[in-house]
């Protein structure tokens, strides 16, 4: 094993590139309470717009997205913030997260009696979990422990070259592309949404489009995501992991230079791959520096 | 009761608040919007998850939602943050809908940091201007009240909803406008609402909208009962969607139905309106606010803290236990009806009076807590969704 990665050794044996405490509302109605809890040092609160009024397979799909983000190795502990009457029940979600091997605390607004009491309980939980996750020691490891996620619009040359460079170096690569472009990856195994990436190159099912894909990749265990979007697309990050944003054309790179990491018209696969390693080992991406907390759920049915 | 006051807008509408709103037009602008408004009293921002990906079948609906929200009369002015300066369609639509709009493009400022640096001085200038405008005597007809219930229980249809219906009837009788929404929660009550339509055409539209929603759900191949009533509703004693609906429709009182509105569409005349929205609390609230609701009333049995960034939301508990339990998150207790302290009529008058006080400037619980939930409503999921 050649040592090139430094990260947190999680209880389930995986390696984390970051050490976040995620504050996760199980429903949009808990967003503000989660945000107030997330102001506690060392916590990252996400907000989203779902968790209620959902039907059919869409419920399970959203639950898998929550679960995947909560059990990604970049996250060392989770506080689930529930309202109480939502479709995606927070308590059940917390149990699933715990069963997934993660440290988890649960706070419920209706159960605890309102915003302020829930915020108090949630902040205490963050402090407690923060101390606990120090047990996940910093270790050195080989590239075979890296899961690289690539978010893309299709099977472009840049995507293929980066995936190949990572694979040859020994990393696992998981790709998220719109459902219609999944067929471009002949021979690559398809993994279900929320399933762990396979060795080599695999493609995740129902990953959605654009920034939605970041959640699909986190759910497959990716510690670093590279966003290789087409021309003109704006750069976005992910709440609990680094996203290397590569501009799809020189025009959009020049216009939004501060929010991109690389210009795809001048950076080749080897340049991106080198950055992936240094980002894994602690270098902050543009989205991390600016504090982007993007967390976009892919829906497969309309809201009721 | 003192004279109602508000902020007159150039297009004749009235605001009951005087916010300066920062609204992203693309989710990549969320952080810039939030940072721009941070720490500036009177400035509000919301975030959302729309990226405007080409070919989005809900493009028109979402653009209309964002334009209407930006143009709500509770905003003195709105700063829209987009990606490119050429993308002006939503800003133009917001201006047509009566908004005072400034558009800032991130591409002109190299990204988030530069955009925030450009927007903050603009906000400070707009806030200074806003602080110079004063409340004026306002007619009741300037009020557009959004009616909502969330986290319903078996008491919703017995206490808070019918009491809110009394308040809505008082508002409508005084020349104001009320919006009843949550289409899935009207399923089963459509015949009663259609019978109250002011014209045969409105009656036809009532049936069309409610049965249309039902069949759209059926086409998905799912049972409406998977989401309605929700787990919380069921724990609260509601057994069927019909039962929930008959209770939910009571928020609209007994007034004639004056109009039927599409999602985020502004009313054309005063009186009771029905807006076609999902039952999702936040999508519904955003739809009504985008349609011009400058005031909202929200009944809750299980208890919910949510609010709106720009429209004050008066929350009403259906039972005393939840009112006490969620101390301070709920404004009024309609459980007093069951406790024998108020009648439906007296509770309805109390709600009406509190609504006028809130319109005149009194802050609601969710305003004090800074709740600003926001969600984009879709009619279809993005294009690839059904292939799996």
Environment class of A138 (CB within 10 Å of its CB; exposed 0-12, middle 13-18, buried 19+): exposed
Which 119-158 residues of chain A touch chain B by CB within 8 A?
A: none
Report domain extents, chain B: 19-132, 140-369
Q: How many CB pairs (< 8 A) connect A and B?
A: 218
- Based on the domain organization, do A265 and A181 belong to the same domain? yes
CB of B387 less than 8 A from some CB of A: yes
Instruction: Please check whether residue A10 lies inside any domain of the structure.
Output: no
CB contact under 8 A, A53 and B106: no
Which residue reads 């047990």 in tokens?
A: A135
Which residues partner with A108 through β-bridges?
A82
Was domain B19-132 assigned CATH 3.30.200?
A: no
Instruction: Give per-residue pLDDT as tens, A191-204.
Output: 999 999 999 999 99
Domain count, chain A: 2
A156 with A92, same domain: the answer is no
B274: left (phi over 0), alpha (psi -120 to 50) or beta: beta
User: Which CATH number characterizes residue A75's domain?
Assistant: 3.40.50.2300
- Render pLDDT for A16-28 as a digit per residue (tens, 0 to 9): 999 999 999 999 9
Contact check, Cβ <8 Å, B327/A54: no
Closest residue by Cα to residue A299 from A49, A92, A27, A28? A49
Kindly list the strands in the beta sheet with B43-45, ordered across the sheet, starting from the edge strand earlier in the chain.
B43-45, B19-24, B75-82, B101-105
In this structure, the answer to whether residues A252 and A177 fall within a common structural domain is: yes
Q: Token match 């690839």: residue?
A: B384
Query: 3-class SS at B87?
Result: coil
- Same-domain check for residues A171 and A91: no
Domain boundary among A135, A169, A194: A135
pLDDT attached to residue B382: 43
The verdict on a CB contact (< 8 Å) between A53 and B53 is no
> Looking at residue A13, what is its pLDDT?
96
| Cβ–Cβ < 8 Å for B332, B352 | no
Q: Each residue of A63-86: pLDDT tens digit? A: 999 999 999 999 999 999 999 999
Q: DSSP characters for B5-17?
A: EEEE-TTS-EESS
At residue B387, the pLDDT reads 30
DSSP state of B37: H
Select from A82, A137, A120, A83 the least CA-distant residue to A104: A82
- Write out residues 36-55 of A within 8 Å (CB-CB) of B: 47-50, 52-55
Which of residues A104, A135, A166 is at a domain's end?
Answer: A135
Q: Does residue A296 sit within a domain?
A: no
Instruction: Assess whether A76 and A207 both reside in one domain.
Output: no
Specify whether the CB–CB gap between A232 and A210 falls below 8 A.
no
Same domain, A90 and A219: no
Q: Are B264 and B47 spatial neighbours (Cβ–Cβ below 8 Å)?
A: no
Q: Considering A82, A106, A135, which residue would you say is the last residue of a domain?
A: A135
Question: Under an 8 A CB cutoff, do A86 and B232 touch?
Answer: yes
Residue A123 resides in a domain? yes
Of the partner residues A178, A255, A260, the one whose CB lies closest to the CB of residue B384: A178
Q: What integer pLDDT is reported at residue B126 of this predicted model?
A: 98
Contact check, Cβ <8 Å, A28/B375: yes
Q: Which residues of chain B have pLDDT under 50?
A: 382-388
Surface of B (35-94) touching A: CB under 8 A: 47-49, 51, 53, 83-84
Residue B380 has what pLDDT? Answer: 66
Best to test chain B binding among A27, A59, A110 (most B CBs inside 10 Å): A110
Using DSSP bridges, classify how beta strands B177-180 and B313-317 pair: parallel, antiparallel or unpaired: unpaired
CA distance B364 to B145: 15
Among A84, A113, A286, beta carbon nearest to B327 = A113
* Domain boundaries, position A175: 143-290
CA–CA dist B164, B247 (Å, integer): 11
Specify the pLDDT at position B242.
Answer: 84
CA dihedral A56, A62, A63, A64 (to 10 degrees): 110
Any idea of the CA torsion for A25, A31, A37, A41, to the nearest 10 degrees? Answer: 90
B47 vs B130: CA distance, rounded Å: 23
- A111-133: average pLDDT: 97
CB of B161 within 8 A of CB of B347?
no
Provide mean pLDDT across the span A175-182.
92
Do the Cβ atoms of B31 and A54 come within 8 Å? no
- pLDDT confidence of residue B70: 98
Confidence (pLDDT) at B384: 35
Nearest by CB to residue A291, choosing from B31, B106, B369, is B31
* Partner A contacted by B382 (CB < 8 A): yes
Residues A29 and A158 in one domain: no
Whether residue A1 is contained in a domain is answered as no
Q: Note whether residue A279 is domain-resident.
A: yes
Q: Is residue A38 part of a domain?
A: yes
Domain check: are A24 and A150 in the same one? no
Q: Does A299 fall in a domain?
A: no
Nearest-CA neighbor of A222 among A145, A107, A122, A124? A145
Give CA–CA dist B338/B125, Å, rounded: 50
Same domain, A174 and A280: yes
Q: How many CB atoms lie within 10 A of CB A205?
A: 16
Q: What is the CATH number of the domain that holds A185?
A: 3.40.50
Residue A47 has pLDDT above 70, yes or no: yes
Instruction: Determine the residue among B155, B324, B326 to mutate to test chain A binding: the one whose Cβ has the most chain A Cβ atoms within 10 Å.
Output: B326
ipTM of predicted assembly, 2 dp: 0.95
Q: Are residues A121 and A186 in the same domain?
A: no
Among residues B232, B228, B236, B239, the alpha carbon closest in space to that of B183 is found at B228
| A22 lies within 8 A of chain B by CB | no
Alpha helices in chain A (DSSP H): 31-38, 57-71, 90-99, 109-112, 115-132, 157-168, 212-219, 250-255, 269-280, 286-290
Smallest CA–CA distance, residue A168 to chain B, in Å, is 31
Q: Across the interface, which of A296, A299, A304 has its CB nearest the CB of B279? A: A304
Which residue is closest to B115 within chain A, CA to CA?
A: A256
Greater confidence, B235 or A98? A98
Q: Name B214's Cβ contacts closer than 8 Å, sequence gap at least 6.
A: B184, B187, B224
Would residue A27 count as lying in a domain? yes
- Does residue A1 have a pLDDT over 70? no
Same domain, A148 and A113: no
- A165/A248 same-domain check: yes
Q: How close B178 comes to chain A (CA, Å)?
A: 22
Share of chain A above pLDDT 70, in %: 100
Asked if residue B229 has a cis previous peptide bond (ω within 30° of 0), the answer is yes
């Amino acid at each position: 094993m050649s040592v090139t990665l430094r990260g947190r050794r999680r209880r389930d044996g995986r390696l984390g590139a970051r050490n976040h405490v995620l504050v996760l509302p199980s429903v949009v109605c808990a967003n503000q309470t989660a945000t107030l809890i997330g102001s506690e040092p060392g916590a990252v609160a996400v907000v989203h717009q779902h968790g209620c009024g959902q039907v059919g397979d869409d419920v399970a799909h959203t639950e898998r997205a929550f679960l995947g983000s909560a059990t990604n190795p970049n996250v060392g502990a989770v506080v689930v913030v529930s309202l109480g009457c939502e479709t995606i029940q927070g308590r059940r979600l917390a149990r699933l997260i715990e069963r997934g091997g993660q440290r988890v605390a649960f706070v419920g607004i209706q159960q605890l009696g309102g915003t302020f009491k829930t915020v108090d309980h949630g902040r205490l939980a963050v402090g407690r979990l923060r101390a606990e996750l120090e047990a996940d020691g910093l270790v050195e490891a080989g590239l075979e422990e890296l899961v690289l996620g690539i978010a893309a619009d299709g099977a472009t040359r840049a995507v293929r070259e980066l995936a190949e460079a990572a694979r040859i170096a020994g990393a696992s690569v998981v790709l998220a592309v719109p459902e219609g472009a999944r067929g471009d990856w002949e021979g690559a195994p398809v993994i279900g949404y929320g399933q762990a990436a396979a060795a080599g190159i695999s493609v995740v099912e129902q990953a959605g489009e654009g920034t939605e894909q970041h959640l699909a990749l986190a759910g497959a265990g990716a510690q670093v995501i590279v966003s290789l979007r087409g021309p003109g697309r704006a750069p976005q990050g992910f709440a609990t992991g680094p996203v290397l944003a590569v501009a799809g054309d020189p025009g959009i790179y020049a216009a939004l230079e501060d929010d991109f990491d690389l210009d795809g018209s001048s950076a080749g696969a080897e340049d991106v791959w080198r950055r992936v390693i240094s980002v894994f080992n602690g270098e902050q991406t543009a989205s991390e520096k600016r504090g982007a907390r993007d967390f976009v759920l892919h829906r497969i049915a309309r809201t009721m | 009761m003192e004279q109602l006051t508000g902020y007159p807008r150039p297009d004749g509408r009235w605001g009951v608040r005087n916010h300066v709103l920062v609204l992203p037009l693309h989710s990549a602008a969320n952080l810039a919007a939030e940072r721009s408004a941070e720490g500036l009293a009177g400035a509000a921002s919301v975030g959302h998850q729309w990226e405007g990906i080409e070919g989005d079948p809900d493009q028109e609906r979402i653009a209309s939602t964002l334009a209407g929200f930006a143009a709500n009369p509770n905003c003195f002015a709105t700063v829209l943050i987009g990606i490119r300066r050429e993308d002006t369609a939503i800003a133009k639509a917001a201006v047509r809908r009566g908004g005072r709009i400034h558009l800032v493009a991130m591409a002109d400022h190299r990204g988030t940091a530069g955009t925030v640096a450009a927007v903050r001085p603009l906000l400070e200038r707009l806030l200074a201007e806003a602080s110079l405008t004063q409340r004026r005597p306002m007619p009741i007809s300037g009020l557009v009240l959004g009616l909502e219930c969330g986290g319903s229980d078996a008491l919703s249809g017995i206490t808070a909803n019918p009491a809110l219906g009394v308040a809505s009837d008082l508002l409508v009788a005084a020349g104001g406008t009320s919006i009843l929404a949550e289409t899935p929660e009207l399923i089963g009550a459509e015949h009663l609402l259609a019978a109250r339509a002011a014209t045969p055409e409105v009656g036809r539209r009532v049936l069309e909208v409610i049965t249309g929603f039902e069949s759209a759900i059926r086409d998905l191949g799912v049972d409406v009962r998977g989401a309605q009533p929700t787990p919380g509703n069921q724990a609260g004693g509601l057994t069927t969607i019909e039962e929930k609906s008959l209770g939910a429709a009571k928020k609209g009182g007994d007034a004639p139905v004056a109009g039927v509105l599409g999602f985020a569409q502004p009313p054309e005349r005063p009186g009771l309106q029905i807006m076609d929205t999902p039952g999702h609390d936040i999508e519904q609230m955003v739809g009504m606010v985008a349609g011009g609701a400058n005031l909202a009333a929200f009944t809750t049995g299980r208890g919910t803290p949510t609010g709106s960034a720009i429209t004050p939301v008066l929350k009403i508990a259906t039972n005393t236990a939840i009112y006490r339990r969620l101390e301070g998150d709920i404004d009024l207790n309609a459980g007093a009806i069951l406790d024998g302290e108020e009648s439906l009529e007296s509770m309805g008058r109390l709600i009406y009076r509190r609504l006028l006080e809130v319109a005149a400037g009194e802050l609601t619980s969710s305003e004090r807590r800074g709740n600003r939930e926001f969600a984009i409503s879709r009619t279809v999921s993005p294009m690839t969704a059904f292939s799996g």
